[in-house]
Structure 1
């Protein structure tokens, strides 16, 4: 249920104005002139550049999160110039109309960085799991296009996404649990996290959600923490068949099944339980506002059955659960209190530490010539 309804017309107008297209073939999306070049030329102070790469968002709420992330990396790496890229071409096309800030995709930043004469480039992923976006960034945009084909003499190192290995699972789980643990001491309070996920089951990256859920439940005596996704079949609220129609009975990994089993195991009714909703995503963007909270859906949950095309909040209300509102959209940007993962200093530190672990190790830097 990817809405973007209020941005659609603005997005089309901006795309027509600046010449970007939506997210189709990578190589076809670059314009004949590179808008990132002027910014890089004006801001180059060092011989090393760090390119932070996130999926992106058009929501104004994301600005503070990105600013905090940039500030953390600037503090940790004072000897480098730091830039922020959006891997989503759709977000690049639409973000200026909504926020007034120009964002560029990684290929444009990398071309501008190479042209500016940087000797070293560190590419740090701000993605959550090592899924499709992450792999395309590292294997095609960075390795094939930039390192091998365009600037084979520039030294490059690549920092992994947030939840890449078991240490990351434990660190992220501990940070989130610490934030919610006072509520989770009561078995009548649940935490429900919404991840994005890859629709293709062949991506092993989807298993990271289950690993985080398991790690967080190990920390919680009541095991009252669950993770679902908005785009990975087995972990949807109510899984769909190949024609995207609700299945007659969801599997055990679905959000509906997990919540139902929790009620049964603890002899509780949904009306006994309050649920905190939060995105397991870097920022509070489109999915957090629309698929999770349903800011355009109102409060009528009469038709929001678990298998319906409705936001998670309304589906939960239809099932009889109560929803905690201390972290919610609350009506406008200034009142929004939804936390994305990038809003936690302890979680941003995981990304920073990924790059710190390789930054000063000469063996972690490669050139395109190393692949030839």
Structure 2
């Protein structure tokens, strides 16, 4: 008798419904299309955002504990957990601990890799980024805003910036809103180029609060305002990486690898 198998897609979540529809929802759809023999579940890790959506929009998204309880109640025996997290940082480690803590006895669990796990992942993600902005004039700069973390995995952002230059994109820059490379470092780097215009884009799954406020907000501390104060024309692109078809393909490849090495 065939065992019941499932995929649990885990995201931080977002309160921006339009971005949710274009990113997390699309990933769920693609997962269901790519793996028709698996039941598909989702869970979000942000209890604050889950609460906002329930109270404001009457949208119910399960937390990990609730998703694992449902998985147990429906008799799932084999589970692949695929995070939409970007790095193997604090969020991902905490997620894995919660899943294991709330797993039913005997449930066989495997974890897929976050987006930026291997050097091959880094190259594939940057190739998707480069395709997205392939028409950008050489005299204009693209600055990506990543999240950043106090975890040692934060070093991936500097590595990505280095890799962009190695791939010939001397006018592409990678920074973070909460760690290094920070905004001051990015302004210094862009100043060393001949760029007159700066394009800002979120290096995050969704175009949520960081993208709309910290990056594109009109307040004086936003990245947009700071680059304008430095003398640049600024254009903001409010499109999360989850909207890029190439990025969704990488997540599916991570799922395939997890399934191949599992059970």
Q: How many angstroms apart in 2 are the aligned matches of 1:74 and 1:112? A: 18
SS of 1:142's partner is helix
In structure 1, the partner of 2:189 is 258
Q: After TM superposition, give the deviation of residue 256 of structure 1 in Å.
A: 2.5
In structure 1, the partner of 2:91 is 133
| Aligned ranges 1:179-218 → 2 under 5 Å | 179-183=132-136, 186-198=137-149, 200=150, 203-218=151-166
In structure 1, the partner of 2:115 is 162
Kept in 1, the 8 Å contact 2:7–2:82? The answer is yes
Q: How many angstroms apart in 2 are the aligned matches of 1:49 and 1:220? A: 41
Q: After TM superposition, give the deviation of residue 98 of structure 1 in Å.
A: 4.2
Q: How many angstroms apart in 1 are the aligned matches of 2:42 and 2:211? A: 21
Q: After TM superposition, give the deviation of residue 97 of structure 1 in Å.
A: 3.7
Runs (4+) off by over 3 Å: 97-100
Alignment deviations for residues 30-88 of structure 1 (CA, whole Å, 9 cap, x no partner): xxxxxxxxxxxxxxxx8212110111100112223222111110111101111221111
| Aligned ranges 1:116-127 → 2 under 5 Å | 116-127=74-85
Q: How many angstroms apart in 2 are the aligned matches of 1:153 and 1:50? A: 16
What do you get for the CA RMSD once the two structures are aligned? 1.7
Kept in 2, the 8 Å contact 1:58–1:98? The answer is no
Q: How many angstroms apart in 1 are the aligned matches of 2:58 and 2:222? A: 28
- Count of aligned residue pairs for this structure pair: 260
Deviates most, 93-102 or 108-117: 93-102
Higher strand share: 2
Kept in 2, the 8 Å contact 1:229–1:236? The answer is yes
Unaligned 5+ residue runs, structure 1?
Answer: 1-45, 239-253, 299-303, 305-309, 328-337, 366-372
Q: How many angstroms apart in 2 are the aligned matches of 1:211 and 1:98? A: 39
Deviates most, 129-138 or 206-215: 206-215
Q: How many angstroms apart in 2 are the aligned matches of 1:126 and 1:313? A: 27
Within the alignment, does 1:279 sit opposite 2:202 as a pair? yes
Q: How many angstroms apart in 1 are the aligned matches of 2:84 and 2:29? A: 14
Q: After TM superposition, give the deviation of residue 114 of structure 1 in Å.
A: 1.3
SS of 2:23's partner is helix
In structure 2, the partner of 1:335 is none
In structure 2, the partner of 1:322 is 233
Kept in 2, the 8 Å contact 1:58–1:95? The answer is yes
In structure 1, the partner of 2:181 is 235
Unaligned 5+ residue runs, structure 2?
Answer: none
Q: 2:106 aligns with which of 144, 147, 153?
A: 153
Kept in 2, the 8 Å contact 1:60–1:98? The answer is no
| Aligned ranges 1:1-372 → 2 under 5 Å | 47-61=4-18, 62-138=20-96, 140-143=97-100, 145-147=101-103, 151-183=104-136, 186-198=137-149, 200=150, 203-221=151-169, 223-232=170-179, 234-238=180-184, 254-260=185-191, 262-263=192-193, 268=194, 273-294=196-217, 297=218, 304=220, 310-324=221-235, 327=237, 338-361=238-261, 364-365=262-263
Q: 1:99 to 1:320 in 2, by over 3 A?
A: farther
Normalising by structure 2, report the TM-score. Answer: 0.93
In structure 2, the partner of 1:38 is none
Alignment deviations for residues 222-260 of structure 1 (CA, whole Å, 9 cap, x no partner): x0111111111x32213xxxxxxxxxxxxxxx2232223
Q: How many angstroms apart in 1 are the aligned matches of 2:183 and 2:202? A: 14
Q: After TM superposition, give the deviation of residue 99 of structure 1 in Å.
A: 4.1
